[in-house]
Amino acid sequence: MATEVRLLELNEYPAIASFIDRNWKKDHAYVRSKDLFNWTFRDNPAWNKEDGYSFSVAVDDGSIIGMLGAIPFKLNVLGKNVKACWLVNWIVMPEVKGGKGLALLNFFSKEQGFNTISFGINDKVAGLYKALEWQEMPPIPRMEWVNPDKIKDTEDLLGMTNPEATAEQILKYISKVSGVTFANDIPEAYTLNSIDADVWDRTGWSVWNNKSIGCAREYSYLNWRYLQHPIYKYETRVIAEGGKLGLIIWRIEITRKMNSNGTLENYLPFVRIAEFLPVSETNARELISCCLVEASVQGVVAADFYCYNLELIEILQRIGFSISGDTSCICLPNHTQPIGRGSNIRSTIKTFSCDEISAQDSKWYWTRSDSDQDRPN
């Protein structure tokens, strides 16, 4: 019988959970939480769940032999929306031959008609995408800040993350990334769920819609991605300026350190900024101040924000954030549970309906919360 490549049906979660557990990663988050799997691949507003999960499987003689997940979204290209998806969890059992992995890849791009992005790839997969003539993005830039009121804790955290660094090097790094100048007055901030959907789309997202490339941050997407997340609790703050709305979204993550006996221990709180869409530089300073002041009350030691957009990078640098160097430099931990350094986050894109998109374009608005990068491990 020929191998069938198709969408995973809604009643097949037990089968895919078993396949993930045996072939992808033991005790993976999608195995531990059916709610997380359903939220990612069924409940997405850019997907029609009547079709099944946005998750393809290769099936041979009734058994799953390969898989490739997709997270659909509207790809905004300077004000024009096209159909796109992030590809995740791509694997075929090693003993399987005959191009089944490519068949899974083509299922979403050619059969389903998606422009495709793969965010967070390893060297092996990067080589395969290159052979298929995908465009590789530069590593996503990371903006960093450390809390000047938590210097001793920060020294300890950086020492664990950068064991080869001297105390002098760590203090020099801290002085470079702790200089954010806060707004003198922070206007009243609102939560996103207190704003009507059409108001955000008209006066918030409209600020960035025509000058950015990336997932359309319409209310329907933000509501699903942050307000409906089944596990993480995100904080959302909206600040108005001149009839327009700026937005910042973050969550506080508790870092965990590895003890000598191999167990993990809760350690220090860390801010992960997920979205940053200011109206102006003044509004940007107000939003950042709102986030860091609130988070500092909870004792956070540091914050980071991954984003490609050059305009935002330059604004954050003027506010006082520092852009992280390459992996040979001192940096905050990329991984926080457990604490550790990670490699740069690499990505590739393949477009079919918008050839004008370039992987090198500085107008990309793309953050660590895109795809499945900001999820429980």
| Contact predicate 312/98, CB 8 Å | no
| 3-state DSSP assignment of residue 281 | helix
Residue among 266, 246, 271 nearest 256 (CA) = 266
Alpha-helix residue ranges (DSSP H) falling in the chain:
13-23, 29-32, 34-41, 100-106, 123-131, 151-161, 167-177, 197-203, 206-209, 219-222, 281-297, 310-319
Read off the pLDDT of each residue in 215-240 and give the average, rounded to a whole number. Answer: 98
- Give residue 9's pLDDT: 97
- Asked whether the predicted pLDDT for residue 96 surpasses 90, the reply is no
- Asked whether the predicted pLDDT for residue 238 surpasses 80, the reply is yes
Read off the pLDDT of each residue in 21-32 and give the average, rounded to a whole number. Answer: 96
- Asked whether the predicted pLDDT for residue 172 surpasses 70, the reply is yes
Q: What is the pLDDT of residues 37-59, one digit of tens each?
A: 999 999 999 999 998 999 999 99
Q: What is the mean pLDDT of the chain?
A: 93
Find tokens 């939220």 and name the residue.
39
Report d(CA 89, CA 66) in Å as an integer.
10
Q: Where are the domains of the chain?
A: 4-136, 142-344
Confidence of residue 290 (pLDDT cuts 50, 70, 90): very high
Burial group, residue 354, by CB count within 10 angstroms (0-12, 13-18, 19+):
middle
- Asked whether the predicted pLDDT for residue 285 surpasses 70, the reply is yes
- Give residue 122's pLDDT: 83
* Domain 4-136 matches domain 142-344 at the CATH topology level: yes
Report d(CA 190, CA 97) in Å as an integer.
55
Q: Tokens standing for 355? A: 């050839």
- Give residue 327's pLDDT: 45
- Asked whether the predicted pLDDT for residue 356 surpasses 70, the reply is no
Longest pairwise C-alpha distance within the chain: 70
Q: In what order do the strands lie in the sheet with 142-146?
A: 235-241, 244-258, 264-277, 302-306, 142-146, 322-323
Q: Tokens standing for 137? A: 């993005």
Q: What is the pLDDT of residues 311-349, one digit of tens each?
A: 999 999 999 999 986 445 888 998 888 998 877 888 888
CATH fourth-level superfamily of 4-136: Gcn5-related N-acetyltransferase (GNAT) (3.40.630.30)
Confidence of residue 354 (pLDDT cuts 50, 70, 90): low
Higher-confidence residue: 1 or 93?
Answer: 93
What share of the chain in percent tops pLDDT 70?
97
- Give residue 357's pLDDT: 78
Confidence of residue 126 (pLDDT cuts 50, 70, 90): confident
Please tell me whether the overall predicted TM-score, pTM, comes out greater than 0.85 for this model.
Answer: yes
Q: Which CATH class is domain 142-344?
A: alpha beta
Residue among 230, 234, 226 nearest 34 (CA) = 230
Q: What is the pLDDT of residues 98-116, one digit of tens each?
A: 789 999 999 999 889 999 9
- Asked whether the predicted pLDDT for residue 10 surpasses 80, the reply is yes
- Give residue 352's pLDDT: 66
Q: What is the pLDDT of residues 364-377, one digit of tens each?
A: 999 999 999 999 87
- Asked whether the predicted pLDDT for residue 227 surpasses 90, the reply is yes
Q: What is the pLDDT of residues 187-207, one digit of tens each?
A: 999 999 999 999 999 999 999
Report d(CA 331, CA 322) in Å as an integer.
10
- Give residue 355's pLDDT: 66
Confidence of residue 273 (pLDDT cuts 50, 70, 90): very high
Residue among 47, 318, 63, 202 nearest 55 (CA) = 47
Q: What is the pLDDT of residues 131-142, one digit of tens each?
A: 988 999 888 999
Q: At 326, which helix (H) or strand (E)?
A: none
Report d(CA 355, CA 18) in Å as an integer.
39
Report d(CA 79, CA 297) in Å as an integer.
38
